[in-house]
Amino acid sequence: MTETAALARASTLPASWYRDPEIWERERHAIFAKEWTLFGREAQFPAPGSYLAGEVAGWPVFAIRDRDGALKAFHNVCRHRAGPIVWDGEGRCDVLRCRYHGWVYDTAGNLRRTPDFGEAEDFDKARFSLFPVRVESWRGLVFVNLDADAAPLADWIGALDDETAPYPIEDYRFHGEVVHEIACNWKTYVDNYAEGYHVRDVHPGLDREIDSGAYEVLLKDRYAVHQAPQRSGASYTGLWVWRFPTLALNVYDDGMNVERMVPVGHDRTRLVYNFFFRDTSEAAQDRIAASLAISREVTLEDARICEAVQRNLDAGIYEAGRLSPRHENGVWFFHALVRQALAA
Ligand code: FES
């Protein structure tokens, strides 16, 4: 069936998929344990022993730069009684010492010491290494993957490498991170991101800037490029792209915004924006502030509508709806990828 024919018949995912903790549990394993997930920036690991700890869809994970300068990553779970090896956030350590009873691991994950443990029988330390996690970098961004058999990150990035090639991403300076907590399922937010149909009604300010009626989403290999003409007639030179399941890159000639839609359980989504600018001098501060203010306004508008939609999905009167063949090909594409992952 062609894309046009499929879209003409397309319906949304069932409402239950947006509220059912069992679906979320299936997504954790079928999607988030298999896809590469943006975890941080290379700059957050400036020296041997620099680490960053956080979560990937409920799995506590940390990455650390070892003595040879390589990045390593592990589940942040001690093999004794599941204590944390490092506390969440950034830090630096010389040895990986569990925060609970002090078992010591090296940066290859091997269990080295078990202080004051006593004489346990049949206890082979070699069988109690940290659980490894894959970690690789792309253009200064650090990704992790829980699946030992996953294809390399370069394959996952795929054609996005060529799409972003014209932009000097490595020259952009990190300006700051902005986090928004939204009371909705991660798919509710991604659905909203995947179409420009709502721009006219939800984002009046943005609608004055772009011609939302001509908004287009171009479907590619597990990613989608968004385009909308400027009402001013100025040509749009940036790249506005979403990569399944939860990564978005807004890249411009003078900076970029890297967006993660981090699922926090079945009913909460944490939006994490990392803003980068080419020029962070004093002279550029007004322009940066204006750019951040626009992002905040649009995000708050999105958060408000997504939380309202989630309440209605939770309420139980609505089961599923039809998708606009003109405007919602991105939603259909996203839903197809979710269905495919859960069917596998
Ligand atoms: Fe790590 Fe006990 S849980 S040393």
Non-local (6+) Cβ contacts of 97 within 8 A are: 85, 103, 104, 105
77 lines ligand 1 (CB under 6 A): no
Residue 330 has pLDDT above 80, yes or no: yes
HSE toward the beta carbon, residue 296, CA cutoff 13 A: 9
CA of 79 to the centre of ligand 1 (A): 7
Site to probe by mutation for ligand 1, drawn from 81, 87, 104, 129 as the one with most ligand atoms within 8 Å of Cβ, is 81
pLDDT at 3: 82
Q: Does 103 sit in the ligand 1 pocket, CB within 6 Å?
A: yes
> Would the pLDDT of 201 be above 90?
yes
181-215 residues labelled b (16+ CB within 10 A) or e (exposed): ebebbbbbbbbbbbbbbbbeebbeebbeebebeeb
Q: Counting atoms of ligand 1 from 1, which one is nearest the CA of 99?
A: 1
Which residue, 263, 274, 249, 242, is CA-closest to 52?
274
Instruction: Please tell me the distance between residue 96's alpha carbon and the centre of ligand 1 in angstroms.
Output: 12
Tell the residue nearest (CA) to atom 4 of ligand 1. Answer: 101
pTM equals: 0.96
Per-residue pLDDT averaged across 129-137, rounded? 98
Q: Which of 312, 168, 134 has its CA nearest to residue 252?
A: 168
Please write the tens of the pLDDT for every residue from 39-63. 999 999 999 999 999 999 999 999 9
Q: How many CB atoms lie within 10 A of CB 179?
A: 10
Ligand 1 pocket test: pick from 75, 76, 77, 98 the residue with the most ligand atoms within 8 Å of its Cβ: 98
Indicate if ligand 1 lies below 6 Å from the C-beta of 111: no
Is the distance from the beta carbon of residue 105 to the nearest atom of ligand 1 less than 6 Å?
A: no
Q: Supply 173's token pair.
A: 């300076």
Q: What are the helix and strand counts (H, E) for the chain?
A: 9, 17
> 125 pLDDT band (50/70/90 cuts)?
very high
Residue 244 burial class via C-beta count within 10 angstroms: exposed 0-12, middle 13-18, buried 19 and up:
buried
Contact 12, 334 (CB under 8 A): no
Q: What is the pLDDT of residues 240-259, one digit of tens each?
A: 999 999 999 999 999 999 99
Check pocket membership of 113 for ligand 1, CB cut-off 6 A: no
pLDDT at residue 237 is higher than 90: no
